[in-house]
Amino acid sequence: MKTIAIIPARGNSKRLPKKNIKTLGGIPLLVHSINYAKQFVFIDDIYVSTDCNDIKAIALKFGAKVVERPKELSGDLEPTVTALKHVIETLDNTIETIILLQPTNPLRPNNLLQEAYTLYINKNCNSLFTVSRNYHKFGKIDKGIFKPFNYKPGQRSQDLEPLYFENGLLYITKAAYILNNKIITEDAFPMEIEHPFATVDIDTQDDFDYAEYLYNKHINE
C-alpha cells in the first residue's frame, strides 16, 4: 500500500495573484513543498493537483506528478478535501496514506515530517496534524463591551490556559477517511510544534514578505 504526498495548487488567487508560482528563494512557492517531500523515502509519489498549465509545467519540471483538477473543483469556496479525493479517485486503489503539504506553508523544519510520520505509524493514527500554542489574550465584543475569553484582566500571558491553533504545516490522513470528506478525523493526533515557520501561511503580499524574511533569516543566512 502506498503513501503519497499531495500538493493542491490552484492557478487562481485573488488576494495574491499567482501566489503558488511566485518566487521565494529563487524557486516557485509550490516547489518548496515538492522539494521537501522528495527528502523522505516513505513517500512513494508526489502529486500536484492543479487547474493551471503554468503550475503543471513547473511541477513536472521539478519532479512531481500532476493530476489535472476539473474547473468545478477549483473555485474559491471549494474545500481542500475535494482536491485530495479527486487525486485518490483518479489513481489506483493501492493508496493507503495521504500527506497533505500546502504550498502556502512553504517553510518547514527539516525533521518535522519524519517525526510526524513516525508518530503516525507508532500511534496507529487515523490522522495527524500540526498545531502550535497561541499566547494571545482573546475576547469578544458584545454590545460595545470587550469580554475576555481566555484570561482575567491583569493575568500574565505565560499563565494563560493553553490554546492551540492549526498551523497548516502538514497533515497525514488515511485515504479512506479523505474519501469520506475528512482530513482531520475526530480522533486526530495533534502534533505540537513551536517554530517560527508555524506562523507562515501565505494569502497576502504581507504574508509573502514575512515568509521571505524568515527564509532569508533561517535558510538563506
Q: How many CA atoms lie less than 13 Å away from 84 in the CB half-sphere?
A: 29
One-letter amino acid of 30: L
CB 167 within 8 A of CB 101: no
pLDDT at 132: 97
Q: What is the pLDDT of residues 93-151, one digit of tens each?
A: 899 999 999 999 999 999 999 999 999 999 999 999 999 998 888 899 999 999 988 88
pLDDT at 221: 61
**Largest interatomic CA distance in the chain:** 58
Mean pLDDT rounded to a whole number for the chain: 94
Kindly state the percentage of the chain with pLDDT values over 90: 81
Enumerate the domain spans of the chain. Answer: 2-130+166-218
CB 193 within 8 A of CB 160: no
CA neighbor of 107 nearest in space, from 187, 170, 192? 170
Q: Kindly state the average pLDDT of the residues 68-89.
A: 90
Band of pLDDT at residue 15, cut at 50, 70 and 90: confident
Return the C-alpha cell found at 10. 490552484
Gyration radius (Cα) of the chain, Å:
18
pLDDT at 77: 78
Band of pLDDT at residue 5, cut at 50, 70 and 90: very high
- Bridge-based pairing of strands 2-8 and 23-24 is unpaired
Name the superfamily (CATH) of residues 2-130+166-218.
Spore Coat Polysaccharide Biosynthesis Protein SpsA; Chain A (3.90.550.10)
pLDDT at 182: 97
- Bridge-based pairing of strands 45-50 and 139-142 is unpaired
- Give this prediction's pTM: 0.93
Band of pLDDT at residue 25, cut at 50, 70 and 90: very high
> Considering only 114-118, 185-189, 217-221, which range has the smallest mean pLDDT?
217-221
pLDDT at 74: 82
